[in-house]
Amino acid sequence: MNILVTGAGGQLGSELQALAKTEANLTFHFTDYPEVDITNADSLGELFKATAFAYCINCAAYTAVDKAEEEKEKCDAINVTGSQNLADLCKAHDVVLVHISTDFVFNGVTHLPLQENDLTSPLSHYGLSKLNGENAIRDTWEKHFIFRTSWLYSSYGANFVKTMIRLGETKDELSIIADQVGTPTYARDLAEVIVAVIKTKNTAYGLYHYSNEGVASWYDFAAAVFEYKSLSVVAKPIPTEEYPTPAKRPHFSVMDKTKFKKTFGIAIPHWRTSLKKCLEML
C-alpha cells in the first residue's frame, strides 16, 4: 500500500519516518519542501499521477504561531491553499487524506473539555488558517481523517520541550505562563495512531480530537521537563499578561477525546508518561 507523506521533515513527519522502519508492509513515500511544495498544485498533480497512493498524510504546515501574525499570506498559502490542493488531488485520485489540525481553532473561554462540534473561534491567524484548512478539506473530499491535536513535541525538530531544556541549562530562573491550560502531545503517539488507523483500513472518516491524556499549563509542562531532566532552574509561574506575544493563545484548550476512543479503541497515554519516553530518546 503506497502512502504519500508531505512535510516529512517536521516533527510528526520525522516520527512517521522512524515508525516506517518497523512497518514492512506499508510503502511510505516521504516528501518535504522544497522538493514537494503543497502550495504548487501542478507539481503535486504530477506526483499523484506517477504513483497510485492509497493514503496521503499531510504533515506539511506553517506552524510559527507568532510569525504568522505578520506572514498571513504565506501562512494561508500553506495551511489553506496547500490543504485545498491535497483535498482536490485526493478526490481526483480516490486517496484517503489524513490531515492534522490544532487546539488553536478554539478561543478557550470555556473550562469544559472541547468536543469536535464545539464552536470554533480562533484567536490567532495560525488558528484561523488551520480552521480554514479543515473546512477546505471537509467541503471537498469525504474520505478524510482530520486529527486535531495540541502542544506537539518530539525528539525531532524544534518544540517547547527542547526550548525548555536549552533555556533550563543556561538560566537560573524561567518565567512560564501558568494560565494557559491544555494537553501536551508526543508526536510519536500521534504517528502511531495514524499508522494504526491506516493499517486497519478504518473508514470512520471525519474529525477527531486526539492529544495525550491529562491537563497541564505551560508552567506544569516546563516544571515536569526540569524535574525529569534534573535541571536545577527555578520555574516561576506567571500570568499571560507578563509574557506578551504577537499571537493570542487560548487560556483553555483541553480536548475531549471520547469520540476518538469510542471509534478506534486505541488507549491514550498520559502526557507525563509520554514526556518521560521522549526525554529518554533525546
Ligand X SMILES: NC(=O)C1=CN([C@@H]2O[C@H](COP(=O)(O)OP(=O)(O)OC[C@H]3O[C@@H](n4cnc5c(N)ncnc54)[C@H](OP(=O)(O)O)[C@@H]3O)[C@@H](O)[C@H]2O)C=CC1
Catalytic sites, residue numbers: 126
Partner touching 6 among ligand X, ligand TDO, none, CB below 5 to 8 Å by kind: ligand X
Partner touching 17 among ligand X, ligand TDO, none, CB below 5 to 8 Å by kind: none
- Report the residue from 41, 163, 205, 214 that binds ligand TDO according to the rule CB under 6 A: 163
Q: Give least dist CB 159 to ligand TDO, A.
A: 7
Is the Cβ of residue 53 or residue 218 nearer to ligand TDO in the bound state?
Answer: 218
Among 131, 117, 138, 160, smallest CA distance to 61 is for: 131
Alpha carbons 228 and 168: distance in angstroms, whole number = 12
Is the Cβ of residue 48 or residue 62 nearer to ligand TDO in the bound state?
Answer: 62
Q: Give least dist CB 79 to ligand X, A.
A: 7
Partner touching 157 among ligand X, ligand TDO, none, CB below 5 to 8 Å by kind: ligand X
Q: Give least dist CB 204 to ligand TDO, A.
A: 24
Q: Give least dist CB 31 to ligand TDO, A.
A: 21
Contact present, 96 and 90 (Cβ < 8 Å):
yes
Partner touching 80 among ligand TDO, ligand X, none, CB below 5 to 8 Å by kind: none
Q: Of the ranges 15-23, 24-32, 33-41, 175-183, which one interacts with ligand TDO (CB under 6 A)?
A: 175-183
Q: Of the ranges 1-9, 48-56, 176-184, 274-282, which one interacts with ligand TDO (CB under 6 A)?
A: 176-184
Site for ligand TDO in 50-79 (CB under 6 A): 63, 65
Alpha carbons 219 and 172: distance in angstroms, whole number = 15
Contact present, 101 and 114 (Cβ < 8 Å):
no
Q: Cell digits for 161?
A: 520541550
Is the Cβ of residue 127 or residue 168 nearer to ligand X in the bound state?
Answer: 127
Beta strands in the chain (DSSP E): 2-6, 27-30, 55-58, 96-102, 144-149, 152-153, 173-177, 181-182, 185-186, 206-209, 216-217, 234-238
DSSP letter assigned to residue 270 = B
Q: Give least dist CB 221 to ligand X, A.
A: 12
Partner touching 135 among ligand X, ligand TDO, none, CB below 5 to 8 Å by kind: none
Q: Contact positions toward ligand X, by CB under 6 A?
A: 6-7, 9-13, 32-33, 36-39, 59-61, 63, 78, 82, 100, 102, 130, 149-152, 157
Q: Cell digits for 261?
A: 476512543
Contact present, 13 and 5 (Cβ < 8 Å):
yes
Contact present, 188 and 254 (Cβ < 8 Å):
no
Nearest residue to ligand X by CB is 10
Q: Give least dist CB 17 to ligand X, A.
A: 11
Among 153, 254, 180, 273, smallest CA distance to 210 is for: 254
Among 6, 11, 13, smallest CA distance to 161 is for: 11
Cβ burial, residue 25 (10 Å; 0-12/13-18/19+): exposed
Q: Residue numbers of the site for ligand TDO (CB under 6 A)?
A: 63, 65, 102-104, 150-152, 160, 163, 174-177, 180, 218, 243, 245, 249
